[in-house]
Amino acid sequence: MCPPTHFRVTYSINPWMDPAKPVDLPLALAQWEDLRDRYRSLGHTVEVLTPRSDLPDMVYAANGATVVDGRVLGARFAHPERTGEAAAHLEWFRSHGYPQVREPEHVNEGEGDFAVTASWLLAGRGFRSSPLSHPEAQEFFGRPVIGLDLVDPRYYHLDTALCVLDDTTDTEIMYYPGAFSPGSRAVLARLFPDAIIATEADASALGLNAVSDGLHVLLPQAAAGLFHPLRERGYEPIAMDLSELLKGGGSVKCCTQELRDPGR
């Protein structure tokens, strides 16, 4: 995780990304701290990445890399404003003793567009990450990559439209079908017939930009329609208020890079 320093909201494709409404930085920091502290209260270790004032989107740490079984595939950002974040993330992993760290050849925006299940890597494309990043990730991680086409610009990263609820299985996800192409919707329906299907209202509240540890699901409090289906499946939803971070285009998952290293 990386704490916020400042934001530049320069475009708006969602109602909560309004350049006319500046971010309240002290409140954004308090909301980020609440998320950090909630993880720790649930027994998770939180590593904090040092922020850089020249990289205002660095708080959205999920985009900086993808880690599977201790192997680290770095990011290559689509837009120049975020390019410097990639090196900062790779430097952190190398300085913390990760032996297998790869600087990618093709554009991928980390866990923004890569979601990990027990056996597969679900991979988004269409707005940010290049389709060429999919075979690169498959070769590096040695697990099948399933490409999914995003077609609605409100859901520009996979982590805005889909959440893996239990990465020890290949069955437990929730997603919003309207974010995907017809073929990708068919693939998801075939692979995950028992998935929780989000409504447009919950998806547009960024309710799928959530993090699950297999029991607790931290998600935006505005996605109220997801709470009952999650409880019915045996999960414990935890409402988080990240309204100031939402103004920059991210919520719980965007602020969280998962370090899947069984050796640590």
With a CB cutoff of 8 Å and minimum separation 6, the contacts of 37 are none
Q: What is the 3-state secondary structure (H, E, C) of 226-253?
A: HHHHHHHCCCEEEEECCHHHHCCCCCCC
Looking up tokens 């950090």 gives 36
101-102 and 65-68 strand pairing: unpaired
Instruction: Spot the catalytic one: 89, 157, 216, 255.
Output: 157
Q: Rounded to whole angstroms, how far apart are CA atoms 197 and 215? A: 18
**Is residue 216 annotated as a catalytic residue, yes or no?**
no
DSSP code for 179:
G
Q: What is the 3-state secondary structure (H, E, C) of 158-178?
A: HHHCEEECCCCCCCCEEECHH
**Is residue 106 annotated as a catalytic residue, yes or no?**
no
Report whether 11 contacts 19 (CB < 8 A).
yes
Q: Which residues pair with 162 in a beta bridge?
A: 175
Among 90, 94, 28, smallest CA distance to 56 is for 28
DSSP code for 76:
B
Instruction: Spot the catalytic one: 2, 163, 216, 254.
Output: 254
Radius of gyration of the chain (CA): 17
Residues with catalytic function? 157, 254
